[in-house]
Amino acid sequence: MEESVVVGYDEDKEQVLKRLRRIEGQVRGLHRMVEEDTYCIDVLTQVSAATKALQAVALQLLDDHLAHCVVDAAREGGENAELKIKEASDAIARLVRS
């Protein structure tokens, strides 16, 4: 039987899913605001709120990845540890630059 891989965010999975459902609702809300010709600045305020919510999900996933996947790989050592660090660094760079 294939050994199922436990993801870093396993313990926080329900919270992440809940946050994503809320963000989906925020984006649907933006769609409604634009349909109803809501004033640009009010729409922009909600776009910033949805962006921050997405950012919070990213930071949570990254915390969990560091605390589990990177730490486990560091303990194993060898190439896998270096790969995990490189992956984490690239993901952080994408986040900082998005």
Q: What share of the chain is helix, strand, coil (3-state, %, to 5)?
A: 85, 0, 15
| 1 near its own copies, rule: CB under 8 A | no
Contact positions with its own copies (CB under 8 A) in 8-47: 8-10, 13, 16-17, 20-21, 23-24, 27-28, 30-31, 34-35, 37-41, 43-45, 47
Helix axes 13-35, 40-64, angle to 10 degrees: 170
Task: Return d(Cα 15, Cα 18) in angstroms, integer.
Answer: 5
| 71 near its own copies, rule: CB under 8 A | yes
The amino acid that residue 51 corresponds to is T
Using DSSP's 3-state secondary structure scheme, residue 37 falls into: coil
Q: Which stretches of the chain bind its own copies, using CB under 8 A?
A: 4-10, 13, 16-17, 20-21, 23-24, 27-28, 30-31, 34-35, 37-41, 43-45, 47-48, 50-52, 54-55, 57-59, 61-67, 69-71, 74-75, 77, 81-82, 85, 87-89, 91-98
